[in-house]
């Protein structure tokens, strides 16, 4: 991967981590139970899915890199998606998953078993995926009557704000 592309991906992942930190710093345990309309996932489930799906696809690139990463749901439950409800833990796990994802993708010389043409495109796909779920979280909070995070703090990192 070229140095310029690796630098751009690193900046995007750092912005991702900062946005997730702002979001999770805003959340309370009560907010974690807010649900998207129509019986959708709770905020906690969205966060668990964001980290878990990134970890799942990272395992297709490098199973050894993904294996030790934590999850935000109860792996012993096979009949239910039970997500943990601690926003601070969610932020820490997502940061750990994204740090390993960036490290592994920038060091990779092939896409491994990913359905992506390159490790860089895998990272871009997952960045878009988590942005989608942050939108779902905002919807769950809004319809649940909870305040949304400050828009400037939330989206500032993606604009390059300090």
Feature table: binding site: 49, 129, 133
Q: What is the pTM of this model?
A: 0.92
| pLDDT tens digits in sequence order for the chain, 162 residues long | 677 777 888 999 999 999 999 999 999 999 999 999 998 999 999 999 999 999 999 999 999 999 999 999 887 787 778 899 999 999 999 999 999 999 999 999 899 999 999 999 999 999 999 999 999 999 999 999 999 999 999 989 888 886
Feature table: binding site for a divalent metal cation: 49, 129, 133
At a CB cut-off of 8 Å and minimum separation 6, what does 132 contact? none
Q: Is 114 helix (H, G, I), strand (E, B) or coil?
A: coil
Domains parsed from the chain with CATH numbers: 3-159 (1.20.120.450)
At a CB cut-off of 8 Å and minimum separation 6, what does 136 contact? 36, 40, 41, 46
Kindly give the interhelix angle for 43-61 and 119-143, rounded to the nearest 10 degrees: 170
């Amino acid at each position: 991967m070229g140095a310029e592309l690796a630098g751009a991906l690193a900046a995007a992942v750092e912005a991702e981590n900062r946005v997730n930190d702002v979001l999770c710093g805003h959340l309370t345990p009560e907010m974690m139970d807010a649900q998207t309309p129509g019986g959708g996932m709770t905020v906690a489930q969205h966060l668990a899915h964001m980290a878990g799906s990134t970890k799942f696809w990272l395992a297709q690139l490098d199973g050894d890199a993904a294996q030790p990463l934590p999850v935000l749901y109860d792996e012993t439950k096979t009949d239910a998606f039970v997500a943990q409800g601690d926003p601070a833990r969610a932020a820490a796990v997502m940061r750990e998953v994204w740090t390993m994802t960036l490290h592994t993708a920038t060091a990779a010389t092939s896409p491994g078993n990913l359905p992506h043409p390159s490790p860089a495109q895998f990272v871009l796909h997952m960045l878009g995926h988590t942005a989608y779920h942050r939108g779902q979280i905002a919807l769950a909070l809004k319809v649940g009557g909870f305040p949304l995070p400050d828009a400037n703090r939330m989206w500032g990192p993606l604009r390059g704000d300090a």
